[in-house]
Amino acid sequence: MRLILLGAPGAGKGTQAEMLTKLYDIPCISTGNIFREHISKNTELGQKAKAYMDEGKLVPDSLVIELVKSRITQDDCKNGMIFDGFPRTIPQAEALDVMLKELNIPIDFVVNVEVADELIIERMAGRTVCPSCGASYHKVNKPSKVSGKCDLCSADLIQREDDKAETVKKRLDVYHEQTEPLIEYYRGQGKLVDVDGVGAVEEVRDRVKTALGVK
């Protein structure tokens, strides 16, 4: 199974990706998480990406495409993969089409998780992440068992720099301008399924499963 999760930042793609990765036993490729890992290790790529990310801008296509190219040819992707946060621009989608064509592995579905901007702004205000393992939480919708601590590795949870209100608004503008056109791109390929992303995590999960034809 090869899936793309499409949707605005904060629409809940990461949470649904965690569920789908277990369901299909395939890796999730989150370009945002990969960049954050590079930033925490202070690599050259991390330093380049951080400047864009902190401002709520997209990292240039060339950097993202190279990263994905080397990731999808790794062994754990041979039974499929879930893309979370990639592609984010038409050139990225076109580059992905070329890469997958060369590997002879088409995308099966593109799940478009729909949530209105106002709700996203509200949601992001409560979102926290684990700086150590990347797990994400929400103060109201998905609280950790011990307040402020990661369930998986007990590290102190933090708010992402780019989840702060001003940056969120900027990221939503960038989404509408550069990523939203992908909805029609994949609808045109007959691969798009729309899912209402408003509601409890489990409700959205059930809608995603139904859209993918999973019992």
The amino acid at 133:
C
Q: Is residue 59 near ligand AMP by the rule CB under 6 A?
A: yes
Q: Is residue 7 near ligand AMP by the rule CB under 6 A?
A: no
Name the H helices within the chain. 13-24, 31-40, 44-54, 61-72, 90-103, 117-125, 165-174, 181-188, 201-211
Residues 88 and 179: beta-carbon distance below 8 Å: yes
3-class SS of residue 10: coil
Active-site choice (2, 36, 123, 160): 160
The reply to whether 205 belongs to the active site is no
Neighbours of 109 (CB within 10 A): 18
* Choice from 88, 138, 205, 207 touching ligand AMP (CB under 6 A): 88
* Choice from 86, 137, 185, 186 touching ligand AMP (CB under 6 A): 86
Active-site choice (13, 36, 205, 207): 13
| CB-count exposure of residue 5 (10 Å: 0-12, 13-18, 19+) | buried
Q: Is residue 52 near ligand AMP by the rule CB under 6 A?
A: yes
Q: Which is nearer to ligand AMP, 59 or 82 (CB)?
A: 59
Per CB under 6 A, residues contacting ligand AMP are 9, 31-32, 35, 52-53, 56-59, 64, 85-88, 92, 162, 171
Residues with a catalytic annotation lie at 13, 88, 127, 160, 171
